Structure 1
């Protein structure tokens, strides 16, 4: 069966309700959406990784204005394709012992 999605011809339809089907549908729907540079960097795992993916041609970007501080627009489908989950330990809270001692005696 042939059908069109976002002006692209598709020859197969995944209709078995699997996770792969849902992921494919999400990526197709997000193809015409964009993320800003900071949002895209937080999704792919950092600004350095985002720059490497852009240089490798794996993430399509657009910068409509040719100004230094112009906003970048990264293709949402490409960004989600390279998403990474980063597990970090919670930061330890540094406490000032002198201030705590003063409060305890007062």
Structure 2
């Protein structure tokens, strides 16, 4: 008799992956992204390390940053109560 491989399906992991896939097409501004990851310095370090893709709208000094929302969410700081 053949063996049947049973893979466990974790609904929470599937839901989280679906959220990341939807958010791949979205962006956050620098301020929002910094709040999510835990500060401007942390955000800038993640961008410099290539962990988060970010671009400025144009070359103007005051143009807004556009940070990949899914990548920002993957680096979300721990928000649980201590």
Q: Distance in 2 between matches of 1:82 and 1:17?
A: 21
Q: How many residues align?
A: 74
Structure 2's unaligned 5+ residue stretches are: 1-8
Q: Structure 2 CA distance, aligned partners of 1:23 and 1:87?
A: 17
| 58, 64, 78: which one aligns with 1:65 | 58
Return the match for 1:76 from 54, 69, 79: 69
Higher relative contact order (CA 8 A, sep 6+): 2
Give the gaps of 5 or more residues in structure 1: 1-15, 89-106
Runs of at least 4 residues of structure 1 off by over 6 A?
none
> 2:50, 2:20 → 1: CA distance?
17
Q: 1:62, 1:74 within 8 Å by CA — same for their partners in 2? A: yes
Q: What CA RMSD, in Å, does the superposition of the two structures yield over aligned residues?
A: 1.9
